[in-house]
Structure 1
Amino acid sequence: MDRFAGQARLEWWANHATCLGEYDIDITVTVDVVGQWQATGRHANALDTIQRDGWDFLMEMDPHFSIAFPGEDRGGIMVLVVEAGDGTLRLTEASDWDGSGNVTFDLT
């Protein structure tokens, strides 16, 4: 496969058992000659206010999601997601991501 266009699901996992968010996306994936892939996409459905708040919160905490393609119960590839101002999503494989993030909460 050097190109895939269709739907996929972004999943944000807090740990191995707790998924805090799932977002269906329309996606186009391309693979270069060395096997590195990148993708662009958009949310398959417009996010309502609550979904948008959840998405923004997760993106601020850590923009790494796993991606599940059709037929997969759970995503296995980690991706770094960057959202442009027009809602376009850019995804790049994050194979070196170790599952840890730096999150600081201001409780004052």
Structure 2
Amino acid sequence: MYDIDITVTVDAVGKWQATGRHAGALDTTQREGWDFLMEMDPHFSIVFPGEDRGGITVRVVEAEDGTLTLMEAPDWDGSVSVTFDLT
């Protein structure tokens, strides 16, 4: 789990866009974990305070400056193929 501060805007046809940042600076271990998850699969489930664990599936893109762009991923089927090199 990572706390993200996000700003959501909705256009005239109801499509939303969101940008954000980590709520707090990530320590070394958290950064390594975040980078690992992003490399493995950049799809996450957003859960808003007070809601159950369902949430919205989004694809996250992180810019060089740490800004996160969140895009709804309704077509994501929840599967991913990952290859690890553990040498």
TM superposition score category, shorter chain reference: over 0.9
Unaligned segments of structure 2, at least 5 residues: none
Per-residue CA shift, 1:49-89, capped at 9, x if unaligned? 00000000000000000001121132420000000111110
1:6-45, Cα deviation, whole Å (9 max, x unpaired): xxxxxxxxxxxxxxxx010111011122222110000001
Match of 2:43 in 1: 64
TM-score (norm 2): 0.92
- Residue in 2 aligned with 1:34? 13
- For the residue of structure 1 that corresponds to 2:4, the secondary structure is strand
Aligned length: 87
Residue identity (%): 83
Backbone CA RMSD of aligned residues:
1.2
Task: Please state whether the residue corresponding to 1:42 is helix, strand or coil.
Answer: strand
SS in structure 1 at match of 2:2: strand
Partner of 2:81, secondary structure, is: coil
Q: Note if contact 1:69-1:75 (Cα within 8 Å) is conserved in structure 2.
A: no
Alignment of 1:9-20 (within 5 A): none
Structure (1 or 2) with the greater strand fraction: 1
Distance across 2 between alignment mates of 1:90 and 1:77: 14
Q: Unmatched 5+ residue regions in structure 1?
A: 1-21
